A = this chain, B = another copy of it.
């Protein structure tokens, strides 16, 4: 059985700052004919499960326009152009910009967020040994953020009440539950 879909033609629909959109005509494997594939290309992102010396998790409250709601999430940010080789630096930068902390980081997972139509890949890091940066880099000027340090149980409540419905944050919290929860 063959699986690969070969691109016969690509129509470029949109080139944005956050993502590009194309529609591919593909030749299906096993003589199944042709199909259309609507695709989003994204540069990728990093996210940080940041755990304080007291075992609390750093959570960012922010507005998400795509869902027209406020959302509670772990710190995260898009990769800038040419940054793909240094996701660690990007993770430390986002942590500092959004929370004013720096620390030791190690990779947990990387995953595609919406694999059916989008190539956005998020690299998730664990940050520990957190210390406050004296003069942290400023936040992006189009972001309004509020920062919380919450217990694991408080984070689970945010999930239960629907205030956190963010896939990357759920992955990070489950990781905490599986590997870091001391209770």
Contacts and interface: CB of A to CB of B under 8 A. Distances in A.
A111 B164 CA distance: 8
Interface stretch (A81-89, A96-104, A130-138, A170-178): A170-178
Q: Work out how many copies of this chain go into the complex.
A: 2
A106 interface: no
Interface residues of A, number: 70
A57 to B, nearest CB: 16
A180 interface: no
Interface of A: 1-5, 13-14, 16-19, 21, 23-24, 26, 28-30, 32-33, 35-42, 45, 61-67, 70-71, 73, 76, 78, 109-122, 141-142, 144, 146, 159, 165-168, 170-171, 174-175, 177-178
